[in-house]
Amino acid sequence: MRIVSGIRPSGELTIANYLGAIKQFLSFQKDKNNECFYFIADLHALTTPYSPSKFPKTVLDTLALYLAFGLDPKKSVIFLQSKIHEHAELTWLLATITPVGQLSRMTQYKEKVKEGNPSNAGLLFYPILMASDILLYKGESVPIGDDQKQHLELTQDLAERFNSKFGKTFPIPKAFFLEKNYSRIKSLLNPNKKMAKSNPDEAILILDSPDEIKRKIKKAVTDSGKEIKFDLNSKPAISNLLTIYSGFSDKSIEELEKEFQNKSYSEFKESLIQLLIEKLIPIQKKYNEFIKDQENLINILEKGSLLAQKTAYKTLLEVKQKMGLEL
């Protein structure tokens, strides 16, 4: 099975990024039947405000975290999106068979504009770029959360439309839904919002110090009552903390409910603090080792990009031949 997925370079990943995506990437990588393509989506990042001077460091920081988590360039193809010009070229070719109305109805486009991001053509075309990322490598399975379902549906539409118009070229990629509990880890201060690094107090960052982890978990909101029980309707805050605990301990929610049956919120939080520190410190140590050797990081991206380009070149050549662009 060929797996394709990417993550925007932010330099500061949260525990939500780990539980919702990267933990699943590691699981796919372990299966020898899978061929994994994981990329740093730097072209995606251009659709929202960013700092050009800080961007190269952000890319390397993201890669160092990838490696610290356990992604292995010997087992997965790890590359930088912008190094493969075929991504942009296929995006244009697919744009010629994409109705503008379909793009303007994309929920994420509307949300980004509502948040104050510039309503530019790049943001509008963003879903086509995401489709190109998948179809360029003829991805068969795509790890997504619920909020990305619409983007994958567009990818499927484009694959079917292209195949119908020009002849069978692309497999129709199937969704691999990330574990539902982990794909939407909530804010520590507002369990009705997704965890995001934009407000540092709302999120646990992978590189947070033990003191920061302790401070943030202690400040995390809880619900009325004293019972430590998973109930998204009546106890959304404690349910969120239970989900985080489950993700890092690999214990089921039911096991945790029994374990903390007669414990207080403060006792539960203290245990969660110790668990997070125990799990994150080794990742931080590995990150610090990787980030010191930036030449090695660049070399990993270059080697991975060369491997990815071999597949990308073949696919784009086939697409151009089908479209009558090769003499």
Query: Mind listing the pLDDT tens digit for each residue in 148-159?
Result: 788 899 999 999
Q: Which of 75, 197, 229, 320 is catalytic?
A: 197
Using one digit for the tens of pLDDT, what is the confidence trace for 164-185?
Answer: 999 999 999 998 766 656 667 9
286 is catalytic: no
Instruction: Assess contact for 258 and 251: CB atoms under 8 A.
Output: no
Strands (DSSP E) contained in the chain are 2-7, 35-40, 77-80, 141-144, 174-177
CATH topology agreement for domains 2-183+294-322 and 200-289: no
Instruction: Return the percentage of the chain with pLDDT > 70, whole number.
Output: 97
CB atoms near residue 315 (< 10 Å): 18
Confidence of residue 94 (pLDDT cuts 50, 70, 90): very high
Query: According to the per-residue pLDDT averaged within each range, which of 178-192, 196-210, 255-269 is highest?
Result: 255-269
Please state whether the predicted TM-score (pTM) of the whole model is above 0.75.
Answer: yes
Domain boundaries 2-183+294-322, CATH class: alpha beta
Q: Which one is catalytic: 23, 83, 112, 269?
A: 112
Q: Taking a C-beta distance cutoff of 8 angstroms, is the pair 257, 229 a contact?
A: yes
Q: Clarify whether 194 is annotated catalytic.
A: yes
Q: What is the mean pLDDT of the chain?
A: 92
- Residue 184 has what pLDDT? 77
**Is 32 a residue of the active site?**
no
Weakest-pLDDT range from 31-40, 146-155, 263-272: 146-155
Q: Determine the pLDDT at residue 180.
A: 56
pLDDT at 198 over 80: no
Instruction: Give residue for tokens 């730097």.
Output: 42
| Whole-number percent of the chain with pLDDT over 90 | 76
In terms of Cα–Cα distance, which of 321, 298, 302, 299 is closest to 84?
302
* Per-residue tokens: 195: 């965890």
CB 30 within 8 A of CB 165: no
Which of 80-89, 129-138, 141-150, 277-286 is predicted least confidently? 141-150
Amino acid sitting at position 206: I
Q: Identify which of 20, 237, 319 has the alpha carbon closest to the alpha carbon of residue 145.
A: 20
Average pLDDT over residues 194-198: 84
Residues 44 and 123: their CA atoms lie apart, in Å, by 9
Domain spans of the chain, in order of start: 2-183+294-322, 200-289
Mean pLDDT, rounded, for 58-64:
95
CATH architecture of 200-289: Orthogonal Bundle (1.10)
Q: Which of 57, 75, 194, 320 is catalytic?
A: 194
